[in-house]
Amino acid sequence: MSRWMGRLGLWLLLATLSTGACAQTRAWLDRERINAGETATLNVETTGALGNSPDFAPLRGDFVLSASSNNSEMVSGRNGLAVRSRFSVLLQPRRSGRIAIPALQVGSERTQPLTLEVLGEPAGVPQGAGGDVFIESEADDLSPYVQQAVGWVVRLYSAVPLLAGKIDQPVPEGASLMRVGDDAQYSRDVAGRRYTVVERRFLLVPERSGALGMPPALFEGRSAPSFLDQVMGGSGDELRARARPRSLNVQPLPADAPQPWLPLHELSLRYRSTPQELRVGSAATLVVEATVDGATAAQLPELQLPPIDGVQVFPEPVQADDGFADGRPRVKLTRKFSLVPARTGPTRLEGLRMEWWDVAAGKPRSSALPPLSWTIAAAGGAAAAGVAPA
């Protein structure tokens, strides 16, 4: 009887897990741009389905696939328990250029298509190449401004299997340093040897102008023992590596800097959607998107619409998609606004404007959305609305 009840409980648990939440599937690359001779990791995550694994077959024409792995965990969904599974596979490109990664089938779901850019020339040979283990670090900008978000990357190269190890990047004086995201792991050919590379990303924010000395990154670990070592009772070799010290020249706040101070590489705004009409007492939806190169969501001012005469504006929480590309942070902000008119007649939304500093050109910039105009219709009346093209 107890065995039967145990089987029934297991069946009920599996039923709950299989129907506890709607399937949600997404895919992403650990790096969207790589050099020739390197690999990238494709991750696919799905929630709410049991036993569904991605079909990687469409990738074999453009990539050599290896080192696939998966792990699963139980999570709480809106309708009960669900299973969240992550599948990873190492992609070695067969050619250079922009390679399209098609939508992949995962059960009844499909991932969104992606693009991997493979540069034709191999990356330069780093200092220390040729050894079993070496480490390097670099900034995306060696002459940043005060309070500019600087991407700081530490890379550990290992030509031998590692049993254990620790990467340490001390925090410099006069700046904050925060780790960003998960480590990326890939393979790279350097000086005739095949290395496994662990890439760790940081957000470095200088707090004062002048010279900023970056302490060297350090690695301490142990190699996996060879067969002979195991026979002789050995436990592998101790390994140590030290990156060369680096220095940044931090520029002061410019005299004509806009306020709030926002040093960036690029900022673009666009309407994701705009209402075709406004009607008294009815909510219409407007969605704004900001794409930012050189900052995280926490460093940016809140996306807010200017006041609209005769219209109440109800903003939803900002949706942020933080990333790390070309050695520095990037983010895409999306915010939805509900517009509820209180009267009839014409009205106008002045375009959202954001002032920022172009760190590459060394000059102030302004990004703005075009204005929108409507004629608000009466509740239940004939439509009489127009909208400027977004």
Please compute the mean of the pLDDT values over residues 280-291 and round it to a whole number: 96
269 DSSP β-pair partners:
290
> How would residue 308 be classed by pLDDT, with cut points 50, 70 and 90?
very high
d(CA 351, CA 367): 10
Lowest mean per-residue pLDDT among 31-40, 265-274, 285-294, 356-365 = 31-40
- Look at residue 309 in the predicted model and tell me its pLDDT: 95
Mean pLDDT value across the chain: 86
For 120-179, the DSSP string reads SSPPPPPTTTTSSEEEEEEES-SSPBTT--EEEEEEEEESS-EEEEEEE-PPPTTEEEEE
Q: Is the pTM of this model over 0.85?
A: no
Distance CA(248)–CA(210), nearest Å, equals 8
Q: What is the pLDDT of residue 79?
A: 64
What is the per-residue pLDDT across 97-127, written as a single tens digit (0 to 9) for each?
999 999 999 988 899 999 999 987 777 778 7
Give me the residue spans of the domains in the chain: 2-119, 133-250, 263-376
Of the chain, the percentage scoring pLDDT greater than 70 comes to 87
C-beta of residue 362 within 8 angstroms of C-beta of residue 250: no
Question: pLDDT at residue 5 above 60?
Answer: no
Question: What pLDDT was estimated at residue 287?
Answer: 97
Whole-angstrom Cα distance, residue 40 to residue 32? Answer: 8
pLDDT digits (tens, 9 = 90+) for 177-213: 999 888 988 988 888 889 999 999 999 999 999 999 9
Question: With 60 as the cut, is the pLDDT of residue 3 above it?
Answer: no
Q: What integer pLDDT is reported at residue 311 of this predicted model? A: 96
Q: For the residues 370-387, what does the mean pLDDT come to?
A: 73
Band of residue 8 on the pLDDT scale cut at 50, 70, 90: very low
Q: Identify whether the C-beta of residue 296 lies closer than 8 Å to the C-beta of residue 149.
A: yes
Where residue 175 falls (left for φ over 0; alpha for ψ -120 to 50; beta otherwise) is beta
Domains 2-119 and 263-376 alike in fold:
yes
CATH for 2-119 is 2.60.40
What confidence score (pLDDT) does residue 289 get? 97
pLDDT of residue 82: 77
Does the pLDDT value for residue 32 go beyond 60?
Answer: yes
Average pLDDT over residues 314-337: 91
What does the pLDDT look like over 229-256, one tens digit per residue? Answer: 555 555 678 999 999 989 999 999 999 9
The rounded distance, in Å, linking the Cα atoms of 243 and 278 is: 60
CATH 2.60.40.740 fits 133-250, yes or no: yes
**CATH top-level class of 263-376:** mainly beta
